[in-house]
Homo-oligomer: A and B are copies of this chain.
């Protein structure tokens, strides 16, 4: 990533578009989780439940494995077309995926162990 505008000068000039903070929020309970992060968790959860490899899903979705890895870790903001493509590659509908994201966003989930923050069971059951 390029240095933000004004690096090397006094930091009195804000960037025109704020740089996206990619700090993983799961280590900061005060920070609310962002949509892309939860989406990524759900996608990875569904993929694991399907026993799929990252490279397989990526190939079927028509994206690079590197990129899918980044999407899954909430590092990138995929376009709606990309979301649809990955969902299709995982044989899950956009409805069920969105529901899984919503379920995973629920505050009650925050007290669940960190390793299972995406409730993919709903998406899985509906898609099966």
Contact = CB atoms under 8 A, between A and B. Distances in A.
Contacts of A102: 95, 98-99, 102
Interface in A69-128: 77, 79-81, 83-84, 93-95, 98-99, 101-102, 105-107
A5 interface: no
Interface residues of A, number: 24
A20 interface: yes
Contacts of A84: 32, 34-35
A80 B77 contact: yes
A72 to B, nearest CB: 14
16 contacts: A18-B81, A20-B79, A20-B81, A34-B80, A35-B80, A35-B83, A35-B84, A36-B79, A37-B80, A77-B79, A77-B80, A93-B105, A95-B105, A98-B98, A98-B101, A98-B102
